[in-house]
Structure 1
């Protein structure tokens, strides 16, 4: 019998980060939380869920245990561009959650991150990116080994709800990536992804309901809100291929067509243009 293909960096990332509590714990750790009690006080999380996530994040190398402290490893700290992109997207496109404004200490202004090319500095959109499968790339290898586990309502954070409709479900993430590279018909999504028709139909309906996709003439297309998800997808991919790489090479190869180089994502301040750093981004100071 032929063995199943090895899961690539994308599939490993979805299995690890397709969980809102994991991302929120990483966020609080970046903001300085290290003790169990600090995480419990800052997040509306049950003791069972917190204990489980701290253990899994430690075993997966995102956190390192030192006595009573849980401290981010290098890979954990490197999640900040993805978390900043989620924060900016939810603040702009899900205003009912009233997330605080972002502040850049470099220029002292309220800001939003701008996805740019490290090589040429130009602002980047899906129109200036060319995506192709790399040596370890295929839809089959980009799926987690198990489906995203179902969680009860009481075990959900609900703080990044619309982001988690994408990151928290393997088929949603795959649909969004496929949509960015031009897939639009149900039959094409089904053929490319190998998704069960029922699961695919369900995820498309949810993405349309959240105004990430729109459907006309039998085709599904990205809305403006959907296109704005690109920084989340790219920073998630960038993190995965840096920290979860497989020996046979990258899953996806991105080229910035404006300058013709391999695309390396950088987030810049939309006010001053300076490259953002994890410690230079925070909540707008009171007063």
Structure 2
């Protein structure tokens, strides 16, 4: 299948991080992919879920197909009808979606409608996915991984040209199942500043310098992150009018989402100069390649081994 081959990017153009954020930092794309992972293939499958308009669904499916996440396959004639089948590239987002759901379950437990639960078919238990290292099988968190800039890891190449615009409160939008996630990833500046935080930026000037974001944008996004509880401000003893910005426990716990998004992007979109980021498992020296395991039985998860089960509303009343 042609769209299951790696895409080579333009020299000195957007790197894999920018491409991944442009695709996966869009709420409607994530909504479509979430239902696709659960079996949606035909136009009516998505329209039957409500919320989405014909124009939005058509444009997003066309874009996701062009980017290689779906293959458009004809299944009927007179009239011609097509279905959208996930490619290996598209199916590969399941680890990212599970990580997002798991993070929201812990850090945004009052979501409405309630987040789906995850059942591991191997052990039969409801579970939370656990980030592990493919090489050694050990559980890891953000403190166990070192991220170094690679040959294409220039900041100007890592910020997508755009992600879908934030909508007004009146605009039709997906179920807010991933509301906190989209505050962190939902536009180009949020995503860029989040990346800067994980790579060690703390001062206001560092965010402006690394991301090239206008100061007003930096101030707005940092304020949003603080309100969300993902970032804290720390006074500067030498300059009482200055503060530093640090990821909180909530912000640091978002690491699996970040690492799976970047890993997915670098798996399928190759810059000719080399990767944008290189992950190393601290203390072992080997390349860190993330995987997910069941926190109950510790067995590595597979996409076909997880059942996504809607929460029964009465259980939460």
Residues 1:145 and 1:129: Cα distance change in structure 2 (over 3 Å)? same
> SS of the counterpart of 1:16?
helix
Asked if 1:134 corresponds to 2:159, the answer is no
Task: Give 1:91-106 correspondences, 5 Å limit.
Answer: 91-97=105-111, 98-106=114-122
Select between 154-163 and 206-215 the one with higher mean Cα deviation.
154-163
Once residues 155 and 74 of structure 1 are traced to their aligned partners in structure 2, the CA distance between those partners, rounded to angstroms, is 30
1:82 equivalent among 96, 101, 104: 96
Once residues 127 and 32 of structure 1 are traced to their aligned partners in structure 2, the CA distance between those partners, rounded to angstroms, is 36
Task: Give 1:38-49 correspondences, 5 Å limit.
Answer: 38-49=45-56
> SS of the counterpart of 1:109?
coil
Once residues 33 and 246 of structure 2 are traced to their aligned partners in structure 1, the CA distance between those partners, rounded to angstroms, is 32
> SS of the counterpart of 2:273?
coil
> SS of the counterpart of 1:70?
strand
What is the TM-score when the length of structure 2 is the normalising length? Answer: 0.85
1:147-198 deviation line (CA, Å, top 9, x unaligned) = 6434344232133111111222222222222222322111222222221101
Flag the structure with larger Rg.
2
1:255 aligned residue: 280
Task: For residue 242 of structure 1, report the CA deviation from its aligned partner.
Answer: 0.4
> SS of the counterpart of 2:126?
strand
1:122 aligned residue: 138
2:247 equivalent among 222, 235, 241: 222
- Give ranges in structure 1 of 5+ residues lacking alignment: none
What is the TM-score when the length of structure 1 is the normalising length? Answer: 0.94
Residues 1:204 and 1:26: Cα distance change in structure 2 (over 3 Å)? same
Select between 56-65 and 175-184 the one with higher mean Cα deviation.
175-184
Task: Give 1:200-279 correspondences, 5 Å limit.
Answer: 200-217=218-235, 218-279=243-304
Task: For residue 43 of structure 1, report the CA deviation from its aligned partner.
Answer: 4.2
Residue pair 1:5, 1:140 contacting (<8 A) in 2 also: no
Once residues 163 and 45 of structure 2 are traced to their aligned partners in structure 1, the CA distance between those partners, rounded to angstroms, is 31
RMSD, aligned CA:
1.8
Once residues 169 and 285 of structure 1 are traced to their aligned partners in structure 2, the CA distance between those partners, rounded to angstroms, is 28
Aligned residues: 284
Asked if 1:168 corresponds to 2:166, the answer is no
1:193-228 deviation line (CA, Å, top 9, x unaligned) = 221101111110111111111112111111111111
Once residues 82 and 40 of structure 1 are traced to their aligned partners in structure 2, the CA distance between those partners, rounded to angstroms, is 23
